[in-house]
């Protein structure tokens, strides 16, 4: 389905705000796509992105939920940058998990990926709470990965308890390998997944068991 006039106009408005802020700092960015694809930092543009995320309906003029979610998706991706750490972007991303109507799982995963990148140790309790919310499907997988890296001792029992959810199972099996030394007791937990109907689960189980054998 081709983009609507409203969608094109919303992007023009967003890109105009990005361009204006970028020119003030002699930065080359002219669109949200530029920000998503660059390896350069753009700290002066973070307030622009936050303002758009906070006030998206008013600033964009969009009313269709699908278009609003799609536009937010670009903002989430652009906020997946070190300069968004410690800003209001973190709380806005948490809130974005629970918009109504809900975003599709693929966009929830974008939110989770952004939080995995910019969340700080002070966010651990909230990351842990959201990571156990199964209504978020595989959108919560990046949060479980973050928890395992941040505090393996606390997060490992949580991750194991979530393995019965097929939507996050392969991601958890892969993320377990981030732990430096896996406990031998995990072998009996992981081995049954060698026969899982999902080929990705079987692959990740095999690789994690291989790490267990080396540890």
Query: For 184-213, what is each residue's pLDDT tens digit?
Result: 999 999 999 999 999 999 999 999 999 998
Q: Are residues 191 and 107 in the same domain?
A: no
Domain boundary among 63, 97, 118: 118
Whole-number pLDDT of residue 213: 80
Clarify whether residues 41 and 132 are in a common domain: no
Length of the chain: 215
Pair (128, 106) in one structural domain: no
Range of the domain at 93: 1-118
Same-domain pairing of 14 and 64: yes
- Structure confidence by residue, pLDDT tens digits, 78-116: 999 999 999 999 999 999 999 999 999 999 999 999 999
Do 183 and 92 lie in a common domain? Answer: no
Please check whether residues 27 and 1 belong to one and the same domain: yes
- The reported pTM is 0.94
Task: Please check whether residues 128 and 110 belong to one and the same domain.
Answer: no
pLDDT tens digits for range 105-159: 999 999 999 999 999 999 999 999 999 999 999 999 999 999 999 999 999 999 9
């Amino acid at each position: 389905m081709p983009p609507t006039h409203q969608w094109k106009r919303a992007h023009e408005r967003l890109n105009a705000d990005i361009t204006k802020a970028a020119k003030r700092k002699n930065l080359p960015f002219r669109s949200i796509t530029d920000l998503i694809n660059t390896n350069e930092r753009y700290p002066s543009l973070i307030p622009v992105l936050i303002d758009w995320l906070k006030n998206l309906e008013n600033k964009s003029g969009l009313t269709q939920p699908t278009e609003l979610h799609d536009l937010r998706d670009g903002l989430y991706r652009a906020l997946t940058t070190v300069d968004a750490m410690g800003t209001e972007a973190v709380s806005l991303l948490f809130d974005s998990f629970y918009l109504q109507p809900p975003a599709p799982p693929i966009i929830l995963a974008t939110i989770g990926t952004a939080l995995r990148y910019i969340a700080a140790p002070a966010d651990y309790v909230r990351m842990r709470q959201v990571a156990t919310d199964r209504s978020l499907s595989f959108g919560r997988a990046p949060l479980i990965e973050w928890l395992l890296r941040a505090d393996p001792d606390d997060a490992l029992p949580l991750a194991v308890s979530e393995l019965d959810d097929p939507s996050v199972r392969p991601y958890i099996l892969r993320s377990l390998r981030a732990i430096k030394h896996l406990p031998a007791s995990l072998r009996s937990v992981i081995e049954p997944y060698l026969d899982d109907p999902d080929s990705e689960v079987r692959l990740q189980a095999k690789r994690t068991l291989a790490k267990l054998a080396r540890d």
